[in-house]
């Protein structure tokens, strides 16, 4: 690739991540852009994290699978759905392998609407990434719920929310710039994993006038869409995730050298990372259970092990990496307060090699988001990335029971750099 | 003329852009400038403010647009660079001096050029290699580094134009800054290279006390002149000092080494125009040279260099303390040296052996042990297992003095007190009661004995040269000015004398060695010192006092101490090739 040292390669990877222009273009049915979901002969579900078998999945993730099967009408009851899953009638593909990411269980089937985020920094070669739409809170599929209310919401998203957002986004010439949206919301106290409220409101602000002006949409549907966006504080998280995926994949596709982490994700069983120099290979270790604050009546005993592709936000330098950007949530995620948040971000600066000048953090004395986790530095210093995360009940369908932070297993980073050293000829 | 710079799809808060605009307006040659997000409202403001350009009008709401009014087109590039650096963020941090990994240490250090390493041996070599990889010279206080590692480090350093001082380098002065166990020495025109720590201290402090000065005293580590290493550091250091116009005389200190290595070093020395003083301590020099004075003792080395530095002929007359007398009984024939400085002990052993002709028995516990005399280096590894060095902790010497009270053979006791950074803050006060007790015990036993002591230091050392002498004197010790004088005084007391070697002047053809020196080495000895101190935090004391920039690297084993992973990291960090 023309680099002399790993430092040079790493610098190039990070600069490419930073120079990416993630742009929200559209919302489309997943099967229209992901061929794996459009296979008549093989029923396919996408999932979060590195590859996993159904029998390895935790209860909420299995519940999500049941929900997706009911949504797709491959079965009309739970029992039949589980039979299909247990009899290996369903093919599982990591969302990451088809240019996308999914929150929590990440379970996604053909007719889910997905956000389309494109890198528009390069006219000739546009990378595109996808992410499902945020479902709001309460009983939701991503936490393993599959009751009628969940399926109905998914159907509404498929039939109303997705198409309306698509029509609105297409009215924005050149799409909606995500970098700018993130930069603005950082100044309003978002960190893009635990807190997306400012960015979500700004998204609503930008889209509401367009939606109300749409001519071929029912008034009721417009009202419902706007109400849903107004109610969904975390709506922007999924946009940030798709942006993260396109940033990392653009860099990953162009440069296969060095030790910068290009993906972090978890499936409730294993935590997987990728580094630029090892291309598509996953390096895994057992997932941890998040530490944090629980809603009344719940404790760590109720918590599901860590899951979801949302750690892509930390991979691009926000979320737990930019903890200091969101003073409002620092206590919620289990840190002691401002000073602990400051310490967290200072620690993160020790394992990242750049600051993203597009994303200046005022509360961090105007430093840029700490970007480009160098797997070498993680192993050398023993400092693990900090991931902000929701905590799922380990029983399917009971939803979120708290929020906190979680670390990846060191093992994944150790395996990654060891494999890379071997690839470069270390005996 | 208006020029427009657009930063597409880049968002900054309006306050940031107003501050940026202010900065741009301060640039000389800029009539006026304004940076804004190119929203429709802002574009109106720009147009109304006389910043109406086509590019500005075309920019989108997600773009930063900067319009500059200047008569000098070349300013645009400057402005563009300024915009980039201002928008890159990274507000000034308060000054940090502590790090716990290399990356941080290198980030916060100000143009570092020396890594001062005092880590356990198994890690020292690895971090030494990391330091060299980061283009730092290495001062390695650590010992227990294998000869293979030392060779690898020094070969790597040589290739990169860097210097590895050590391993086991106790002493060094770099461009006037004392490192590790070192005295504060006046700067001056004598350059010293030495393979021994206390040897350097003795020579430089004598030089200082006699009004001379040493700007660089480079410790090579005790094994540098072994065949396995090949004097790599010694030779590079000699060449560096030779290239420094402020150095008038070069002093070289070492223990004797193989003929091949001594020839190699001498060959370099014979290429130099600058006068040289060389000491292979332990050998009796058989000849000297016009330009290279071959010295016999440390004091002679210091004096010869000082004389040469003034353009004088070398003339050294050893001295003894004349007015010291004692009536010894028949049994009292022995000298006992309880040293904290290894090279001083070696010098004592040599002089006693040359005076008495008594061979030393093979006994690791002694530097010299003959029928009557014993010289012990309490700083030797065998005495420092689990206890601090005797320059820091008096315990072993107090014990030695205590047991000496019952040794009937003793006529004279020799003690050294080495001052400087790293050493005990008041060793004299520790030794004084033990000396008094020893003398009292001897008196009770009906014996007269003499305790001789020498203080290695300067009036600038924190312990205070004069007060340390006074405290020891007050306890009944006789203070000698140098180790040479102390040993000769002891010999005189027991009726022995060392003859100064007679040296005929030989001449050799001038050799023609390549004396080229890397710029990085020239910078090391004459430029600003900036240190990354890896390990013992105490070593930063000297740096603080001397107002030298430093970073304290609070080292812990990387990768949690996993050696396999450390090797992987080192491989990756040092990897060079097409990737």
**Which of A334, A323, A326 is closest to A293 using CA atoms?**
A334
The 3-state DSSP class for residue A181 equals helix
HSE of A160, CA atoms in CB hemisphere, 13 A = 18
ipTM rounded to 2 decimals: 0.93
Q: Which residues of B touch A20 (CB under 8 A)?
A: none
Instruction: State how far Cα A163 lies from the chain centre.
Output: 22
CA distance B471 to B492: 25
Handedness of CA A79, A82, A83, A89 (dihedral sign): positive
The answer to whether residue A427 neighbours chain B at the CB level (below 8 Å) is: no
Handedness of CA A225, A227, A230, A231 (dihedral sign): negative
pLDDT of residue B92: 53
CA distance A390 to B273: 75
pLDDT of residue B503: 96
DSSP letter at B6?
E
The answer to whether residue A424 neighbours chain B at the CB level (below 8 Å) is: yes
Q: Which residues of A touch B568 (CB under 8 A)?
A: 379, 417-418, 421, 426
What residue of A is the nearest CA neighbor of B563? A380
Look at B19 and A352; give whichever has higher pLDDT.
A352
Q: Which residues of A touch B11 (CB under 8 A)?
A: 177, 179-180, 183-184, 358
Q: Which residues of B touch A259 (CB under 8 A)?
A: 572
CA distance B208 to B185: 6
CA distance B400 to B336: 10
CA distance B375 to B367: 6
> How large is the average pLDDT for residues A287-302?
89
CA distance A341 to A337: 6
**Which of A337, A413, A326 is closest to A377 using CA atoms?**
A413
pLDDT of residue B16: 80
Q: Which residues are CB-contacts of A123 (< 8 A; sequence separation ≥ 6)?
A: none
Cβ proximity of B239 and B210 under 8 Å: no
Cα-only R_g, chain A: 20
CA distance B75 to B81: 10
The answer to whether residue A174 neighbours chain B at the CB level (below 8 Å) is: yes
Q: Which residues are CB-contacts of B221 (< 8 A; sequence separation ≥ 6)?
A: B140, B150, B164, B165, B166, B167, B168, B169, B195, B233
Render B396-441 in DSSP notation, one character per residue.
HHHHHHHHHTT-TTEEEEEEEEE-STTS-TTHHHHHHHHHHHHHHH
Burial class (CB in 10 A: 0-12, 13-18, 19+), B213: middle
- Contact assignment for B91 to A174 by CB distance below 8 Å: no
Q: Which residues of B touch A380 (CB under 8 A)?
A: 101-102, 558-559, 569
CA distance B429 to B470: 10
CA distance A168 to B165: 69
Q: Which residues are CB-contacts of B385 (< 8 A; sequence separation ≥ 6)?
A: none
- Contact assignment for A379 to B16 by CB distance below 8 Å: no
Is the confidence at residue A325, as pLDDT, over 70? yes
The answer to whether residue B15 neighbours chain A at the CB level (below 8 Å) is: no
Closest approach of chain A CAs to the CA of B176, in angstroms?
Answer: 34
pLDDT values of chain B reduced to their tens digit, one per residue, 579 residues: 999 999 887 888 787 888 888 888 888 889 999 999 898 888 988 988 889 999 999 998 888 999 999 998 888 888 888 888 887 765 555 577 899 888 889 989 999 999 999 998 878 999 999 999 999 999 999 988 999 999 999 999 999 999 999 998 889 999 999 999 999 999 999 999 999 889 999 999 999 999 999 999 999 999 999 999 999 999 999 999 999 999 999 999 999 999 999 999 999 999 999 999 999 999 999 999 999 999 999 999 999 999 999 999 999 999 999 889 999 999 999 999 999 999 999 999 999 999 999 999 999 999 999 999 999 999 988 898 777 889 999 999 999 999 999 999 999 999 999 999 989 999 999 999 999 999 999 999 999 999 999 999 999 999 999 999 999 999 999 999 999 999 999 999 999 999 999 999 999 999 999 999 999 999 999 999 999 999 988 899 999 998 999 999 999 888 888 989 999 999 999 999 988
pLDDT of residue A239: 98
CA distance B213 to B306: 9
Query: pTM for this structure?
Result: 0.81
Cβ proximity of B232 and B209 under 8 Å: no
Closest approach of chain A CAs to the CA of B137, in angstroms?
Answer: 21
pLDDT of residue B127: 94
CA distance A256 to A277: 5
B69-74 contacts at long range (C-beta below 8 A, 24 or more positions apart): B69/B1, B69/B2, B69/B3, B69/B30, B69/B31, B69/B32, B69/B33, B70/B1, B70/B3, B70/B29, B70/B30, B70/B31, B70/B33, B71/B1, B71/B29, B71/B31, B72/B29, B73/B1, B73/B3
Question: How do residues A369-384 score in pLDDT, each as one tens digit?
Answer: 999 999 999 999 999 9
> In Å, how far are A170, A174, B141, B191, B523 from B200, measured between CA atoms?
79, 73, 15, 11, 22
Structure tokens at B135: 């283009």
Q: Which residues of A touch B91 (CB under 8 A)?
A: 365-367
Cβ proximity of B141 and B182 under 8 Å: no
B contact residues 30-89, partner A, Cβ 8 Å cutoff: 60, 62, 87-89
Domains recognised in chain A with CATH numbers: 21-237 (3.90.1710.10), 256-423 (3.90.1700.10)
Q: Which residues of B touch A1 (CB under 8 A)?
A: 578-579
Q: Which residues of B touch A365 (CB under 8 A)?
A: 91, 93
Q: Which residues of B touch A9 (CB under 8 A)?
A: 579
φ, ψ at B54 (rounded to 5°): -65, -45
CA distance A412 to A414: 5
pLDDT of residue A333: 62
pLDDT of residue B508: 93
Cβ proximity of B217 and B171 under 8 Å: yes
User: pLDDT-derived band of residue A280, with 50, 70 and 90 as boundaries?
Assistant: very high
The answer to whether residue B502 neighbours chain A at the CB level (below 8 Å) is: no
Closest approach of chain B CAs to the CA of A357, in angstroms?
Answer: 5
Cβ proximity of B270 and B506 under 8 Å: no
pLDDT of residue A13: 98
Plot region of A22 (φ>0 → left; ψ -120 to 50 → alpha; else → beta): beta
- Residue among B12, B13, B572 whose CB faces A420 most closely: B572
Q: Please tell me the total number of residues recorded for chain B in this structure.
A: 579
CA distance B404 to B413: 9
CA distance B494 to B332: 9
Closest approach of chain B CAs to the CA of A328, in angstroms?
Answer: 20
- Contact assignment for A367 to B13 by CB distance below 8 Å: no
pLDDT of residue A294: 84
Q: Which residues of A touch B12 (CB under 8 A)?
A: 183, 360
Residue identified by tokens 């670390």 is A407
The answer to whether residue A10 neighbours chain B at the CB level (below 8 Å) is: no
pLDDT of residue A334: 61
User: pLDDT-derived band of residue A138, with 50, 70 and 90 as boundaries?
Assistant: confident
- Contact assignment for B90 to A367 by CB distance below 8 Å: yes
Report the mean per-residue pLDDT for chain A.
95
- H/E element, B277: strand B276-280
Is the confidence at residue A331, as pLDDT, over 80? no
The answer to whether residue A277 neighbours chain B at the CB level (below 8 Å) is: yes
Closest approach of chain B CAs to the CA of A257, in angstroms?
Answer: 6
Closest approach of chain B CAs to the CA of A419, in angstroms?
Answer: 9
A contact residues 196-225, partner B, Cβ 8 Å cutoff: none
Q: Which residues of B touch A366 (CB under 8 A)?
A: 16, 89-91
- Contact assignment for A418 to B568 by CB distance below 8 Å: yes
Residue identified by tokens 């597009």 is A358
Domains recognised in chain B with CATH numbers: 2-87 (3.30.70), 95-168+528-579 (3.40.50.720), 169-316+501-516 (3.40.50.261), 334-493 (3.40.50.261)
Q: Treating both helix axes as pointing N-terminal to C-terminal, what angle do B298-309 and B483-493 enclose, rounded to 10 degrees?
A: 130
Structure tokens at A402: 């708290």
Residue identified by tokens 């710079």 is B5
User: pLDDT-derived band of residue A304, with 50, 70 and 90 as boundaries?
Assistant: very high
Closest approach of chain B CAs to the CA of A339, in angstroms?
Answer: 16
Q: Which of A120, A122, A357 would best serve as a mutation to test chain B binding (most B beta carbons within 10 A)?
A: A357
pLDDT of residue B103: 87
- Residue among A3, A184, A365 whose CB faces B579 most closely: A3
The answer to whether residue A354 neighbours chain B at the CB level (below 8 Å) is: no
- H/E element, B368: strand B368-369
> In Å, how far are B88, B235, B295 from B19, measured between CA atoms?
14, 55, 68
Total beta-carbon pairs less than 8 A apart between chain A and chain B:
112
Strands B287-289 and B171-174: unpaired
- Residue among A179, A379, A424 whose CB faces B565 most closely: A379
User: pLDDT-derived band of residue A335, with 50, 70 and 90 as boundaries?
Assistant: low
Q: Which residues of A touch B106 (CB under 8 A)?
A: none
């Amino acid at each position: 690739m023309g680099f002399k040292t790993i430092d040079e390669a790493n610098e190039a990877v990070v600069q490419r991540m930073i120079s990416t222009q993630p742009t929200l273009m559209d919302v489309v049915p997943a099967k229209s852009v992901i061929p794996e979901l459009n296979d008549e002969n093989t029923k396919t579900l996408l999932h979060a994290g590195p590859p996993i078998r159904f029998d390895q999945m935790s209860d909420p993730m299995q519940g999500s699978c049941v929900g997706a099967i009911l949504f797709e009408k491959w079965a009309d009851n739970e029992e039949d759905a589980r039979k299909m899953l247990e009899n290996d009638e369903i093919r599982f593909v990591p969302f990451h392998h088809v240019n996308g990411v999914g929150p929590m269980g990440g379970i996604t089937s053909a007719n889910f609407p997905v956000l389309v985020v494109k890198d528009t920094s390069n006219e000739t070669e546009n990378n595109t990434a996808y992410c499902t739409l945020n479902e709001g809170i309460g009983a939701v599929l991503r936490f393993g719920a599959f009751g009628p209310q969940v399926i109905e919401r998914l159907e509404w998203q498929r039939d109303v929310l997705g198409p309306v957002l698509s029509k609105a986004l297409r009215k924005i010439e050149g799409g909606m710039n995500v970098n700018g949206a993130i930069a603005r919301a950082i100044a309003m106290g978002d960190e893009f994993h635990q807190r997306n409220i400012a960015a979500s409101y700004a998204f609503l602000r930008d889209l509401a006038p367009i939606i109300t002006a749409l001519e071929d949409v029912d008034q009721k549907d417009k009202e419902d869409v706007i109400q849903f966006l107004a109610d969904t504080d975390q709506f922007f998280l999924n946009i940030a995730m798709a942006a993260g995926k396109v940033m990392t994949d653009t860099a990953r596709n162009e440069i296969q050298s060095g030790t910068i982490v290009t993906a972090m994700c978890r499936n409730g069983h294993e935590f997987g990372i990728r580094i630029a120099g090892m291309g598509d290979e996953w390096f895994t270790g057992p997932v941890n259970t998040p530490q944090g604050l629980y809603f009344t009546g719940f404790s760590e005993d109720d918590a599901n092990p860590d899951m979801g592709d949302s750690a892509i936000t930390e991979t691009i330098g926000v979320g737990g990496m930019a903890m200091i950007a969101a003073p409002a949530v620092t206590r919620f995620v289990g840190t002691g307060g401002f000073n602990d948040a400051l310490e967290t971000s200072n620690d993160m600066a020790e394992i990242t090699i750049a600051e993203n000048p597009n994303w200046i953090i005022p509360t961090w004395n105007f430093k840029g988001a700490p970007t480009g986790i160098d797997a070498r530095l993680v192993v050398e210093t023993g400092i693990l990335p900090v991931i902000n995360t929701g905590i799922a009940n380990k029983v399917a369908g009971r939803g979120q029971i708290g929020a906190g932070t979680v670390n990846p297993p060191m093992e994944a980073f150790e395996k990654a750099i060891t494999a890379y050293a071997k690839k470069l000829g270390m005996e | 003329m208006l020029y427009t710079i657009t930063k597409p799809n880049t968002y900054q808060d309006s306050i940031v852009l107003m501050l940026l605009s202010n900065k741009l307006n301060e640039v000389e040659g800029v009539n006026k400038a304004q940076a804004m997000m190119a929203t429709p409202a802002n574009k109106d403001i720009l147009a109304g403010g006389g910043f109406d350009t086509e590019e500005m009008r075309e920019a989108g709401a997600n773009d930063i647009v900067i319009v500059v009014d200047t008569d000098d087109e070349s300013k645009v590039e400057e402005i563009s660079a300024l915009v980039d650096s201002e928008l890159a963020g990274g507000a000034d941090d308060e000054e940090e001096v502590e790090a716990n990994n290399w990356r941080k240490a290198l980030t916060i250090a100000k143009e570092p050029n020396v890594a001062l390493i005092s880590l356990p041996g198994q890690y020292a070599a690895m971090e030494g290699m990391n330091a060299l990889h980061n283009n730092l010279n290495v001062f390695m206080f650590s010992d227990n580094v294998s000869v293979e590692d030392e060779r690898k480090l020094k070969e790597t350093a040589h290739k990169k134009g860097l210097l590895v001082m050590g391993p086991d380098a106790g002493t060094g002065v770099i461009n006037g800054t004392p490192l590790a166990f070192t005295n504060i020495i006046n700067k001056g025109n004598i350059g010293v290279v030495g393979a021994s720590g206390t040897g350097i201290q003795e020579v430089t402090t004598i030089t200082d006390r006699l009004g001379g000065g040493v700007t660089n005293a480079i410790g090579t580590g005790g094994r540098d002149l072994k065949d396995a290493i090949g004097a790599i550091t010694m030779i590079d250091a000699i060449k560096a000092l030779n290239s420094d116009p402020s150095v008038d005389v070069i002093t070289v200190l070492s223990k004797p080494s193989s003929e091949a290595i001594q020839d190699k070093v001498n060959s370099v020395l014979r290429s130099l125009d600058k006068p040289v003083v060389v000491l292979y301590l332990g050998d009796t020099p058989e000849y000297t040279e016009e330009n290279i004075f071959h010295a016999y003792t440390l004091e002679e080395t210091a004096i010869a260099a000082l004389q040469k530095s003034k353009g004088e002929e070398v003339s050294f007359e050893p001295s003894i303390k004349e007015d010291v007398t004692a009536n010894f009984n028949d049994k009292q024939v022995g000298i006992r040296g309880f040293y904290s400085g290894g090279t001083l002990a070696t010098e004592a052993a040599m002089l006693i052996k040359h005076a008495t002709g008594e061979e030393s028995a093979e006994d690791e516990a002694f530097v010299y042990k003959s029928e009557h005399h014993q010289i012990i280096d309490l700083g030797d590894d065998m005495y420092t297992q689990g206890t601090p060095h005797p320059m820091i902790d008096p315990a072993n010497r107090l014990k030695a003095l205590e047991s000496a009270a019952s040794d009937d053979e003793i006529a004279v006791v020799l003690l050294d007190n080495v001052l400087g950074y790293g050493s005990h803050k008041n060793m004299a006060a520790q030794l004084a009661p033990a000396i008094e007790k020893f003398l009292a015990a001897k008196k009770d036993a009906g014996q007269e004995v003499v305790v001789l002591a020498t203080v290695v230091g300067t009036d600038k050392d924190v312990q205070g040269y004069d007060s340390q002498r006074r405290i020891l004197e007050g306890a009944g010790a006789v203070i000698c000015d140098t180790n040479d004088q102390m040993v000769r005084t002891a010999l005189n007391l027991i009726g022995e004398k060392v003859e100064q070697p007679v040296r005929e002047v030989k001449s050799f053809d001038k050799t023609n060695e390549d004396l080229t020196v890397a710029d990085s080495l020239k910078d090391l000895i004459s430029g600003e010192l900036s240190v990354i101190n890896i390990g013992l935090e105490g070593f930063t004391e000297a740096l603080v006092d001397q107002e030298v920039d430093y970073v304290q690297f609070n080292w812990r084993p990387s990768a949690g101490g996993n050696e396999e992973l450390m090797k992987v990291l080192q491989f990756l960090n040092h990897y060079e090739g097409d990737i």
